[in-house]
Each structure stands twice: as structure tokens, then as C-alpha cells.
Amino acid sequence: MLQWGDRMLTLKIVKPDDAMDWMTFVSSLVGSIAWPIAAFAIAFLFRAQIRKLVDRLKKLSLGDNSLDFGERLDEAEAEATTALPAAAPEPAGIGLPDARTAQLIALSPAAAVVDAWRSIETEVKKRALPLLPQYATAAVSNHGQLAFRAAAKMLFQAGQITASTYSLLSDLNGLRNAAAHGDDITAADAVRFTMLAKQAHFFLEGPDVVPDNPDA
């Protein structure tokens, strides 16, 4: 303590250890900030590889229920082959997509899938409308609209489509839902789906068959 005129001054001497504590604190603070930034940068740079790894882990955890869009297309195409009777001619006019569809596929494969599905859904519901008096309770959804799955089942039970066509429509409905919910879809997959959609239209115009009771 020192006296300066009428005032008393107090001097506090800081120990070197205290200075080192501040340096340690600053160093740890910088380190705690730098690690999250570095982790984010690594995740950003390798985001594609990380996404693929996550998809593989999801498949391992879900097992057989985790078929991707392409694999489900394989199943639908096999169903379409079954839906065509052995003696029936090959569907005519089922070729590559038209110019409008091709442009949509180039812009957004998922949007092309949803667009191709829309015409199938419209056709199935239109054909099922005359059957509503018989199946009204089962076919109308909570929103007062004709549900697609119920409409397709009505056509099957009424003998207007075969069991294979009914299964194909169910497969295409599942693929459409996958596309609408963000599944990764390639342009090639979208082309395959549009061709299957054309085949579904062909089968919807096919001859009546003896009705059956499909699984709900």
C-alpha cells in the first residue's frame, strides 16, 4: 500500500500462474468453437458419402422391407408380365415417353412419376364410379372422396380387372407414394414407370374376368 498525497493506493501483484490460467481458458474456448466448425465442414464435404452410408444402414436395419425404388420397379414389371395373358397381343403404343413427359423427366424424375400416376388414378376412379351404390361404404374415404385402393378393389371384385392387374395397380400406387415422399429416383426409373403406367391403362381396358377376393 502506498500513500500519494491524501490518497492511499493499493497495488495488486498478479501471479504468473493466474496469467497462465487465462491463457488456458482462452485456448480451450477456441478449441471448443473450432471442433464443431471442423465437424460441419467435414460433413459438408463428404455429404454424398455420408448419405449413402446412412441409406445402407437403413437397409440393414429394415431388412427386406427396405427395397429401393428401382428394385420395386423390377417387381412391378414382373407383375405387368404376369398380367398379360399368354394368348393376348403385346400392348400397342407403349414405347418411349412423349416429348412432354421426356422434358418433365429431365427436370424432375419424381414429378414425372407423380404425373404419370395421376392419369391411372383418374381412370380407375372413373371406372369405379358406377359401382359405388354397391360398394359405397368401403370406397369412400373420410374426406368424402373415392379412395384409389378401394376403387381398384371394387373393379377387381366386380370382375373388370384381373388379379395381376389389381396387384400391378397396387405396386404402382406404392411407387407413386415413394416418389411423392422424396425417394431418390433416376431418370431411367422414371422412364420405366411411365411405360408401366401405359401398360396399366392397357390392362384397364382388357376383358372382364371372374372376380376374386384380393387381400385388403
What is the average pLDDT across 119-141? 76
pLDDT digits (tens, 9 = 90+) for 96-114: 677 888 888 888 889 999 9
Count of structural domains, the chain: 2
Residue 147 lies in a domain: yes
Phi, psi of 9 (to 5 degrees): -105, 140
Per-residue pLDDT band for 173 (boundaries 50, 70, 90) equals very high
Please check whether residues 79 and 60 belong to one and the same domain.
no
Mean pLDDT of the chain: 71
User: Residue 56: which domain range?
Assistant: 1-65
Per-residue pLDDT band for 116 (boundaries 50, 70, 90) equals very high
Please check whether residues 20 and 79 belong to one and the same domain.
no
In terms of pLDDT, which residue wins out, 193 or 142?
A: 193
**Least confident segment among 83-92, 95-104, 200-209:** 83-92
Please check whether residues 22 and 79 belong to one and the same domain.
no
Given 42, 65, 88, which residue is the final one in a domain? Answer: 65
Please check whether residues 32 and 103 belong to one and the same domain.
no
Residue 42 lies in a domain: yes
C-alpha–C-alpha distance, residues 12 and 10, integer Å: 7
Per-residue pLDDT band for 47 (boundaries 50, 70, 90) equals low
Residue 125 lies in a domain: yes
Residue 25 has pLDDT above 70, yes or no: no
Per-residue pLDDT band for 26 (boundaries 50, 70, 90) equals low
Q: How many CB atoms lie within 10 A of CB 103?
A: 11
Residue 166 lies in a domain: yes
Residue 211 lies in a domain: no
Residue 84 has pLDDT above 70, yes or no: no
Please check whether residues 74 and 178 belong to one and the same domain.
yes
Give percent of the chain with pLDDT exceeding 70: 51
| 152 close to 124: Cβ distance less than 8 angstroms | yes
Please check whether residues 154 and 79 belong to one and the same domain.
yes
What is the average pLDDT across 22-37? 57
Please check whether residues 102 and 159 belong to one and the same domain.
yes
Given 13, 30, 65, which residue is the final one in a domain? Answer: 65
Please check whether residues 190 and 105 belong to one and the same domain.
yes
Q: How many CB atoms lie within 10 A of CB 183?
A: 17
Please check whether residues 4 and 52 belong to one and the same domain.
yes
Long-range Cβ contacts of 102-109 (<8 Å, 24+ apart): 105/187, 105/190, 105/191, 105/194, 106/187, 109/179, 109/185, 109/186, 109/187, 109/189, 109/190
Mapped onto helix, strand or coil, the DSSP state of residue 114 is helix
Residue 213 lies in a domain: no
Residue 209 lies in a domain: no
Residue 215 lies in a domain: no
| Residue 186 pLDDT | 87
| Residue 87 pLDDT | 41
What is the average pLDDT across 154-169? 89
Residue 52 has pLDDT above 70, yes or no: no
Given 28, 43, 65, which residue is the final one in a domain? Answer: 65
Please check whether residues 60 and 127 belong to one and the same domain.
no
Please check whether residues 17 and 113 belong to one and the same domain.
no
What is the gyration radius of the CA atoms in the chain, in angstroms? 32
